[in-house]
Amino acid sequence: MLRTTRLWTTRMPTVSKLFLRNSSGNALNKNKLPFLYSSQGPQAVRYTSQHEWIAVHQDKTAFVGITKYATDALGDATYVELPEVGTEIAQGESLGSIESVKSASEIYQPADGTVEEINTNLEENPGVVNEDPMGDGWLVKMKLGEGVNVEQVEGLMSLEQYEKTLVHDD
Amino acid sequence: MSIIKKIVFKRFNSTLKKTALHDLHVSLGGTMVPYAGYSMPVLYKGQTHIESHNWTRTNAGLFDVSHMLQSKLSGPHSVKFLQRVTPTDFNALPVGSGTLSVLLNPQGGVVDDTIITKENDDNEFYIVTNAGCAERDTEFFHDELQNGSTLDCQWKIIEGRSLLALQGPKAKDVLEPLLSKTAPGKDLKELFFGQRHEFALKDGSLVQIARGGYTGEDGFEISIANEKAVEFAEQLLANPVMKPIGLAARDSLRLEAGMCLYGHELDESITPVEAALNWVISKSRRDLVDQKYWFNGYAKIMDQLNNKTYSKVRVGFKYLKKGPAARNGVKIFLPDAETEVGLVTSGSASPTLNNINIGQAYVQKGYHKKGTKLLVQVRNKFYPIELAKMPLVPTHYYKQ
């Protein structure tokens, strides 16, 4: 009974945070797969200083994408290059690249994991990355490595922490 | 993902020069970046690169090109001087007409590409050269003029004037109503591609308008006094078919149109023949027996032209399937993916061609024919390309 009560109170602050930041362009789109993958929603959503996001679910399935801030800076995406399914990628390694007319930008892996699925829709429609970077524009779905806890991985930030870095950048 | 920190630009901005339109760009939401020593707009708020590009191809766009060097060559020996430093015949050029040409160093290499317009008989020429080459061009003109100590002519930079490029199929419709009809028959309909004439605005101010541009579309390059530039730009932008357009779109537009970017397709080691610019070598100047009339690098250039002794030549290309763009510096291989035969000089997605990748490159002679299938190597993978005749997108010049 006490345990049940405790779980309830623990979850509340997380929900509040997401709710308070819902208007932020860099928050996960709650109507799309990276959020809706499991019925209880992601266990944790984290951001990197290189403007990637990672949404982790209870079964250690994670979705990775780039933030709204990143896609605005990039301009119209014209090509997305992603790894092969089955590829093991360590934190900080290249996950692929995104091209606009003017530039090519490398995407870095936020935490150790193995690629289970890539967003094949981006091959024909790279512009989805600009239209919905925090939802339909997800890049890869992966299984996190054994023992990886994104809440403890160095260099990963909460939405609030991430957005503070953006304000500083400007 | 790597994104350049904005703080870097802020530091640059404090030492950069500003065009007369700088504050207007900022007020229009221009993202300002350092370019050729100036603070220039690369994009405007509310427009993506692709939207800017497509708008120019279908409506009308306003580009600030005031950073480019406007200069004047005058004196009785002006033609003689130009005959030495360029391969073009300026004797044959009608008054009021301009032509694209190249400045040549003594080895026949391209110092800069330029548009030169004859203004008065054979004694006065208006010259526009690239912003990025301003320092070198100034040195070049001074050196060449001193080199021919018998030449009676002077070159000087034109100060205090802005240059606005109005480009796109609707450009003429925007500009016409702003001009005063000072003389019968002197209107935009009679200003053809390559020509440049003086016009008056409604308030009596004089502007020089050249028909042409760097996009492949019909359009104008308008030289106007700095004091009048903002007011005039605002008048142009008041037309709903107008948008301000930044440097990013300018580059993708010129790439599709097959135009050179100095520092990419051209440098001082490349001749006009290698650059596939044979047409700047006037036919009347291809058989000059007397060395006295030779232009710089004549022997080498004519050998390349007549005997095909060049080893590489500029080509255009298109991707045959999706992939990352091949940009400046990417290597080109034969289909064996082992034999290197060229180097990309510019490349990006082409908004007009539904974002297929296109580019320009230098390819070894023998592999340079259009239709040739080769490979580019981007991040250790190979992608098939086909060489294509330039322009890669049809042009729409208003020709006589």
A75/B324 CB distance under 8 A = no
Question: Burial of B221 by CB count in 10 Å (0-12 exposed, 13-18 middle, 19+ buried)?
Answer: buried
d(CA A91, CA B398): 56
* Residue labelled with tokens 């710089």: B296
A50/B252 CB distance under 8 A = no
Residues of B in contact with A78 (CB under 8 A): 325, 349, 355
Considering only residues A23 and B245, tell me which one the structure prediction assigns the higher pLDDT: B245
How confident is the model over B208-246, as pLDDT tens digits? 999 999 999 999 999 999 999 999 999 999 999 999 999
Nearest CB to A76 within list B3, B49, B323: B49
How confident is the model over A56-101, as pLDDT tens digits? 999 999 999 999 999 988 889 999 999 999 999 999 999 999 999 9
CA A51 to chain B, closest CA, distance in angstroms equals 6
pLDDT tens by residue, chain B, 400 residues: 665 444 444 455 568 999 999 999 999 999 999 999 999 999 999 999 999 999 999 999 999 999 999 999 999 999 999 999 999 999 989 999 999 999 999 999 999 999 999 998 888 999 999 999 999 999 999 999 998 667 899 999 999 999 999 999 999 999 999 999 766 557 899 999 999 999 999 988 999 999 999 999 999 999 999 999 999 999 999 999 999 999 999 999 999 999 999 999 999 999 999 999 999 999 999 999 999 999 999 999 999 999 999 999 999 999 999 999 999 999 999 999 999 999 999 999 999 999 999 999 999 999 999 999 999 999 999 999 999 999 999 999 999 8
Which class in CATH covers the domain with range B310-389?
A: mainly beta
Domains and CATH numbers, chain A: 42-165 (2.40.50.100)
Q: What is the dihedral of CA B277, B279, B283, B287, to 10 degrees?
A: 10
Chain B contacts in chain A segment 72-111 (CB below 8 A): 73-76, 78-79, 81, 97-102, 104-108
Pairing label, strands B110-120, B124-129: antiparallel
Question: Burial of A154 by CB count in 10 Å (0-12 exposed, 13-18 middle, 19+ buried)?
Answer: exposed
B1/A50 CB distance under 8 A = yes
How confident is the model over B181-206, as pLDDT tens digits? 766 557 899 999 999 999 999 988 99
d(CA B144, CA B149): 9
The one-letter amino acid at A55: A
The architecture in CATH of the region B42-309 reads 2-Layer Sandwich (3.30)
d(CA B195, CA B98): 6
Question: Left, alpha or beta for B236 (phi > 0: left; psi -120 to 50: alpha)?
Answer: alpha
Kindly tell me if the per-residue pLDDT of A52 is higher than 90: yes
Quote the DSSP letter at residue A141.
E
CB half-sphere exposure, B67, CA atoms < 13 A: 20
The DSSP secondary structure of B143-173, one letter per residue, reads: HHHHHSTT---EEEEPPSEEEEEEESTTHHH
CA A66 to chain B, closest CA, distance in angstroms equals 8
Nearest CB to B3 within list A73, A79, A123: A73
Crossing angle, helix B134-147 and helix B78-85, to 10 degrees? 120
**Cβ–Cβ under 8 Å, residues A46 and A110:** yes
**Cβ–Cβ under 8 Å, residues B134 and B114:** no
- Residues 6+ positions from B140 with CB-CB distance below 8 Å: B85, B103, B105, B111, B112
Q: How many inter-chain contacts (A to B, CB under 8 Å) are there?
A: 71
Q: What is the domain partition of chain B in residue ranges?
A: 42-309, 310-389
Residues of A in contact with B51 (CB under 8 A): 76
